[in-house]
A and B are shown apart, each in its own frame.
Chain A
Amino acid sequence: MKPTRFIDLLPHIVLIVGVLIFAYPIYVTLIGSTWDSGTIGRGGLPLWPGGQGATNYAQAWVGEAGDRAMYTPVRTMMLNSLVMALSIAVGKIAISILSAYAVAFFRFPLRMAFFWLIFITLMLPVEVRIIPTYKVVADLGLINTYAGLAIPLIASATATLLFRQFFLTIPDELLEAAKIDGAGPVRFFIDVVLPLSRTNIAALFVILFIYGWNQYLWPLLVTSSGDMETIVTGITKMIGTGESANDWHIIMATTVLAMLPPVAVVVFMQRWFVKGLVDSEK
């Protein structure tokens, strides 16, 4: 056995510093959510948990007035974020898998034109067409609705391209056999294509759920009433200008709750998450 040299420890030291840089802000927030606003506001936050945790989370959850202001209850904001994230994830997967199936398994006039039409959306992120998209949504009467939050975000070229690429790897023999057995396109889709796409769907779902949950600019625009607030935009509204006299204990508890679902998804579905991420960029 050689004695441990400093050079062998170096990678561990660097990695641990890296891990700490990412964990420390979260740790502070977790601790902060268990103290009272006075302690936090004075800047005297200790490094160990306080005894206010249960009260703070309960207060944030039901939206009971803090020391200084009233907030939208976290349960309402979490529900809104959940509906938005699930609608975006499920909606995107559903419309993309159908259109990819059409492009990959049929021959029909204007096929390539449709393909390019979908492809072009890659170059039009919501951020570059904010005002006109907002206007369309307003004209359709979708401001402050779940439909308004989700539908404009569910068309995406990435998911369609991913499914199409995968469909092209399904062997022709499988399709010929299905045809000989008299299976039509709908039967083939349900019995063969969908089951084969299971892992792709799961991987994509994880990525899209996080994408949907973390939306910021769009919810900021299309929701104006408190009961349609999503949790990520809700937090920054609670903070306002960031003065020291804020209900920091409630804000920190809300932040912890806002991080929980997407972080849980990444940690518990790590394998699918990494696959989805790497695949959807191909």
Chain B
Amino acid sequence: MQRRVTFDNRLLPYLLLAPQVAVTLVFFIWPAANAIWQSVHLQDAFGIRSEFVWFENFTNVLGDPNYLDTLKVTVVFSLAVTVLAMGLALLLAVLADSKIKGARAYKTLLIWPYALAPAVAAVLWMFIFNPDIGSFGRALRALGYDWDYRLNGGQALTMVIMAASWKQVSYNFIFFLAGLQAIPRSVMEAASIDGAGPVRRFWTITFPLLSPTTFFLLVVDMVYAFFETFGTIHALTQGGPGKATETLIFRVYQDGVVNNDLGGSSAQSVILMVIVIALTAVQFRFVERKVHYS
């Protein structure tokens, strides 16, 4: 944790820490404390008086069937995004890692979508699947399928899941590739000599050895699906139609910013904080991160 040799200086370390600590206190700790305070208070319509109401905001939020629907949408959405993004990334990484011609080119061509903002990914998908202007959207309609994600909740959810996973594949791909490259070639060669085919080698050697990477990505993708996909949903469906694509984070925004319900929104923020803390704790407790990229 600490070096053996250090500098002796009374004031300097505090000066060095000052900017980061100031920003952390003003924009992180204070607002978070505020959210917790708000979550146990009820404000009147003018925001002048507030009353301590214990856990009323929480029981209201958790007792609201709408909130439970939102929770369900979030769980379906997050699981689908995680499974799709990881599955496709693992497949591509295993193939790109094998000794094939043009592996480098494939890597470059698969890495760059990382640079796209979630909202931009959503816009690109809209250009293709919009029922009026998108080629695929129009093709689906021409085939007699009643495609309009702006009106059909199930289709809307499918759209945001596809757009959100599409953007996350490259991230997973980079980490799977790094994980694969850390697996010693000698192990694979030994198995190969023993007569194990590629599929068998994958499931008995590669996959177990990749498990730290897989587990790490599982947590990262869940966090991504929970929080960073706000842009995807905001750009594509605005949580609609109805509340078909409203995730927890979209609802905090909706209740707090659009509907101006401070207590309810803060209670939701506190619930989200608990979720992040749990996910982070899981990550630090179980993940052995030993990935190398060369």
Instruction: Give me the interface of A with B, judged by CB distance under 8 Å.
Output: 11-12, 14-15, 18-19, 21-26, 28-29, 32, 40-43, 45, 94-96, 98-99, 101-108, 111, 114, 117-118, 120-125, 127-137, 151-152, 154-155, 160, 168, 172, 175-176, 179, 184-186, 188, 210, 213-217, 220-221, 232-233, 235-236, 239, 241-244, 248, 251-252, 255, 258-259, 262-263, 265-267, 270, 273-275, 277-278, 281-282
Q: Is the CB of A98 within 8 A of B17?
A: yes
User: With contacts A213-B117, A220-B234 known, is A131 near B24, CB below 8 A?
Assistant: no
CB of B92 closer than 8 Å to a CB of A: yes
Q: Is the CB of A25 within 8 A of B34?
A: no
Q: Is the CB of A131 within 8 A of B257?
A: yes
Q: Which residues of A contact B169 (CB under 8 A)?
A: 22
User: With contacts A43-B133, A127-B230, A128-B272 known, is A24 near B113, CB below 8 A?
Assistant: no
Distance in angstroms between the alpha carbons of A54 and B150 in the assembled complex = 32
Distance in angstroms between the alpha carbons of A263 and B120 in the assembled complex = 12
Q: Is the CB of B3 within 8 A of A45?
A: no
Q: Which residues of B contact A23 (CB under 8 A)?
A: 109
Q: Is the CB of B291 within 8 A of A278?
A: yes
Given A19-B110, A217-B231, A235-B123, output 20 extra A-B contacts at Cβ < 8 Å.
A11-B100, A15-B92, A18-B91, A22-B109, A101-B16, A102-B13, A118-B24, A128-B227, A129-B32, A132-B32, A151-B23, A172-B3, A188-B7, A216-B231, A221-B257, A233-B119, A241-B150, A244-B133, A258-B120, A273-B111
Closest 8 CB pairs of A and B: A214-B117, A132-B31, A216-B231, A244-B132, A262-B115, A102-B16, A25-B124, A132-B34
Distance in angstroms between the alpha carbons of A220 and B276 in the assembled complex = 22
Q: Which residues of A contact B25 (CB under 8 A)?
A: 117
The residue from B3, B110, B170, B171 contacting A175, defined by CB atoms under 8 A apart: B3
Q: Which residues of A contact B228 (CB under 8 A)?
A: 127
Candidate in B24, B88, B289 with the most chain A CB atoms within 10 angstroms: B24
Q: Is the CB of A232 within 8 A of B31?
A: no
24 A-B pairs (CB sep. < 8 Å): A21-B166, A23-B109, A25-B127, A28-B128, A32-B127, A43-B132, A96-B20, A102-B17, A108-B13, A121-B28, A127-B228, A129-B28, A129-B35, A129-B273, A130-B257, A131-B257, A131-B262, A151-B23, A155-B23, A172-B5, A236-B119, A263-B116, A277-B171, A278-B178
Q: Is the CB of B293 within 8 A of A105?
A: no
Q: Which residues of B contact A108 (CB under 8 A)?
A: 10, 13-14
Q: Which residues of B contact A275 (CB under 8 A)?
A: 293
Q: Is the CB of B280 within 8 A of A123?
A: yes
Q: Is the CB of B117 within 8 A of A152?
A: no
Candidate in A118, A120, A152, A217 with the most chain B CB atoms within 10 angstroms: A217
CB of B106 closer than 8 Å to a CB of A: yes
Distance in angstroms between the alpha carbons of A235 and B29 in the assembled complex = 32
User: With contacts A274-B293, A275-B293 known, is A106 near B9, CB below 8 A?
Assistant: yes
Q: For residue A20, which residue of chain B has the nearest CB?
A: B109
Instruction: Give me the interface of B with A, judged by CB distance under 8 Å.
Output: 2-10, 12-14, 16-17, 19-21, 23-32, 34-35, 38, 88, 91-92, 95-96, 98, 100-102, 106, 108-120, 123-128, 130, 132-135, 138, 150, 166, 169-171, 174-175, 178, 216, 220, 223, 227-228, 230-231, 234-235, 249, 252-253, 256-257, 262, 265-266, 269, 272-273, 276-277, 280, 289, 291-293
Q: For residue B10, which residue of chain A has the nearest CB?
A: A108
Q: Is the CB of B116 within 8 A of A19?
A: no
Q: Which residues of B contact A277 (CB under 8 A)?
A: 114, 171, 174
Q: Is the CB of B125 within 8 A of A19?
A: no
Q: Which residues of B contact A135 (CB under 8 A)?
A: 31, 34
Q: How far is the CB of B37 from chain A (nearest CB, A)?
A: 9
Q: Is the CB of A210 within 8 A of B23?
A: no
Distance in angstroms between the alpha carbons of A263 and B124 in the assembled complex = 15
Q: Is the CB of A19 within 8 A of B106?
A: yes
Q: For residue B130, which residue of chain A has the nearest CB?
A: A242
Q: For residue A160, which residue of chain B has the nearest CB?
A: B20
Q: How far is the CB of A180 from chain B (nearest CB, A)?
A: 11
Q: Is the CB of B13 within 8 A of A111?
A: yes
Q: How far is the CB of B143 from chain A (nearest CB, A)?
A: 14
Q: Which residues of B contact A175 (CB under 8 A)?
A: 3, 5-7
Q: Is the CB of B124 within 8 A of A29?
A: yes
Q: For residue A8, which residue of chain B has the nearest CB?
A: B100
Q: Which residues of A contact B231 (CB under 8 A)?
A: 214, 216-217, 232, 236
Candidate in B118, B123, B227, B253 with the most chain A CB atoms within 10 angstroms: B123
